[in-house]
Amino acid sequence: EKLIKKMNYLWKINQETQNNLNQETSKFRSLDYVSIRKVITTIQYQKMHLLLDEEEQLHLQALEREAKELFQQLQDSQVRMTQHLERMKDMYRVLWETCHMPAVELLQDLAEMQKPQPVNPELTSWRITGVLDMLNNFRVDNALSTEMTPCYISLSEDVRRVIFGDDHRSAPMDPQGVESFAVWGAQAFTSGRHYWEVDVTHSSTWILGVCRDSRTADSSILIDSDETFLLISSKRSNHYSLSTNSPPLIQHVQRPLGRVGVFLDYENGSVSFFDVSKSSLIYGFPPSSFSSPLRPFFCFGCK
pLDDT at 178: 52
The mean pLDDT of 291-301, rounded to a whole number, is 88
Structural element, H or E, at residue 13 = helix 2-30
pLDDT tens-digit series, residues 86-118 = 877 877 777 776 665 555 555 555 555 566 677
The yes-or-no verdict on residue 24 having pLDDT over 50 is: yes
Q: Parse the chain into domains and list their residue ranges.
A: 2-30, 31-116, 131-300
What is the pTM for the complete model shown?
Answer: 0.71
CATH code for the structural domain at 131-300: 2.60.120.920
Tell me, what amino acid is at 193? R
Higher pLDDT, 199 or 240: 199
